Amino acid sequence: MQPFVDEGKLLSRSYEQLSEAVNEFVFIEDAGQIIACAGLRVYKSENMGEIYALTVNKSFHNTGTSLKLMNKLIQKASDLDLDSIFALSKYGGRFFFRHDFTEVDVSSLPLLRQKSYDYQRNSIIYLRVL
């Protein structure tokens, strides 16, 4: 994740934050190393999930790894019986559109997430109904 944090594409998260949320993550491994990961935070009252910290090692771009990762996220969301999933991103438009997400506004987010939306970062919100 760190190279993408350094580029400003991902928000920085502490070791403690990641440790507390490790059960939210799905991973893809190659030769015993994690090459892709993403978290899925659940908002139970709205029955929605937020995809966050989505990362694919640059050596595995254009290899189908991101498709496998998205499929794992969608499967996890389906297993949790979520109605929809969303992601906030400044850089992933084509990626999310290829996976049947649509662009929505802040009012489509769960109330708790609306309150924490960073208007200075001005991320685009992508939503997919499951």
CATH number of the domain encompassing residue 13: 3.40.630.30
User: Which pLDDT score, from 0 to 100, does residue 20 have?
Assistant: 79
Please report, rounded to a whole number, the percentage of residues in the chain having pLDDT higher than 90.
Answer: 72
Average pLDDT score over the chain: 89
Contact (CB, 8 A) for 127 and 101: yes
Best CA proximity match to 53, nearest among 12, 82, 85: 12
Domain range for 57 is 2-129
Task: Give the 3-state secondary structure of residue 53.
Answer: strand
Contact (CB, 8 A) for 54 and 69: yes
Contact (CB, 8 A) for 100 and 128: yes
CB-CB neighbours of 89 under 10 Å: 18
User: Which pLDDT score, from 0 to 100, does residue 106 have?
Assistant: 97
Q: 13-53 pLDDT, tens per residue?
A: 666 766 677 899 999 999 999 999 999 999 999 999 999 98
Q: How far is the first Cα of the chain from the last one, in angstroms, to the nearest whole number?
A: 27
User: Which pLDDT score, from 0 to 100, does residue 13 have?
Assistant: 64
pLDDT at 7 over 80: no
Its pTM stands at 0.86
What total of structural domains would you count in the chain? 1
User: Which pLDDT score, from 0 to 100, does residue 11 have?
Assistant: 58
Q: Which pLDDT band, with edges at 50, 70 and 90, does 93 fall under?
A: confident
